[in-house]
């Protein structure tokens, strides 16, 4: 196995339905622009509240992907 390096970024996904949908959205959206996604980790969950009611679920997700720097 060759040596490799990975970059880690943090994204926030939002959903009006659930934290799971919010996390999924973050990963699937990142997958449209980044190659070789490796690991996603939910690091924080919170909710947006308006008028005393939950209006959105938010999931902070770190995602790692293979880093291909220029030689």
Domains of the chain: 6-63 (3.30.1660.10)
28: enclosing H helix or E strand: helix 19-33
> Would you say residue 67 has pLDDT above 80?
yes
Angle at 30 between CA 33 and CA 49, to 5 degrees: 140
Given pLDDT bands bounded at 50, 70 and 90, which one contains residue 2? low
pTM for this predicted structure: 0.83
- Tens digit of each residue's pLDDT (9 = 90 or more) over 4-58: 888 999 999 999 999 999 999 999 999 999 888 989 999 999 999 999 999 999 9
- Short-list 6, 25, 7, 5, CA closest to 15: 25
- Short-list 62, 12, 6, CA closest to 35: 6
Cα distance between residue 37 and residue 46, in whole Å: 24
Res 23: pLDDT: 98
């Amino acid at each position: 196995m060759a040596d490799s390096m990975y970059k880690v970024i943090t994204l926030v996904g939002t959903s009006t339905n659930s934290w799971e949908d919010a996390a999924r959205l973050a990963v699937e959206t990142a997958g449209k622009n980044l190659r070789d996604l490796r690991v996603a980790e939910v690091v924080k969950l919170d909710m947006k509240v308006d008028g005393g009611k939950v209006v959105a679920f938010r999931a902070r997700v770190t995602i790692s992907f293979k880093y291909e720097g220029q030689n």
